[in-house]
Amino acid sequence: MGRFTERLTTKKMLCMLLMIQLSLRAIMVKGEVYKVGDSTGWAANTNSNYSTWASSKVFRVHDILMFEYNATNDNVIRVTHSDFRSCNTSAPIKTFNSGNDSFTIKAHGHYYFTSGFSGHCVAGQKLDVRVPKSSHGATTPPPKPTTTPSPSPSHSTASPVESKATAPSPADNAATAHDPNWLLMSTIGVTISGFVVMVCGAV
């Protein structure tokens, strides 16, 4: 009887350990929710400055951007860096049009948004969200342009090399995008889960 009670206690402790681990993992994965533009929301006819709004935040992987707007006369489109700069809305990466859209950040880099409605982008309804590689700051120095010749003065403002360096594609960096803390917790979680399954099966 004593051994049976001891086995039950061990099983309960291991199951509790698993629950704690899963809870910690859920906390690590969950990000902040940001309503774009705060109280003014996403609109072209307000005094909201989305550049100022974005610069006052520190965005991380797993954070969620909430776009709230009137869907009858507005929408949200995600665009490339060059289209963002030129307000070209003809080839969006993705279009949102529900009036209450959420976008989850899945990788570091820049995310560019504007409105697909005529005149809204040039009126200032555009958002550049920068997500640093790590919340602890960059761990590697920026690349040195030693092998690439300097661009001529006439092309210095539209260099594709410069655009690529300052605005990496989040999709291209998906494999290395996760925060190190999140990866550590995931690894620990998988290890503990395997250990619990093995021990509980043996008890």
pLDDT digit of tens for each residue in the chain (203 aa)? 555 555 557 667 666 666 666 555 545 556 899 999 998 899 987 677 899 999 999 999 999 999 999 999 999 999 999 999 999 999 999 999 999 999 999 999 999 999 999 999 999 999 999 999 865 443 344 444 444 444 444 443 333 333 333 444 444 444 334 445 555 555 666 666 666 556 555 55
Residue 39, domain extent: 31-136+158-172
Note the pLDDT of residue 24.
Answer: 55
- Nearest 5°: the CA angle 190, 16, 30 is 55
My answer on whether 126 and 26 are in the same domain is no
Does residue 2 form part of some domain? yes
Does residue 22 form part of some domain? yes
pTM, rounded to two decimals: 0.56
My answer on whether 51 and 119 are in the same domain is yes
Contact criterion met (CB below 8 Å) for 106 and 174 = yes
My answer on whether 35 and 1 are in the same domain is no
My answer on whether 124 and 58 are in the same domain is yes
My answer on whether 203 and 168 are in the same domain is no
The gap from C-alpha 106 to its chain's centroid, in whole angstroms, comes to 4
Does residue 42 form part of some domain? yes
- Quick: pLDDT tens for 100-124: 999 999 999 999 999 999 999 999 9
Best CA proximity match to 100, nearest among 157, 35, 47, 158: 35
Ranges of H-type helices in 30-78: 50-55
My answer on whether 165 and 197 are in the same domain is no
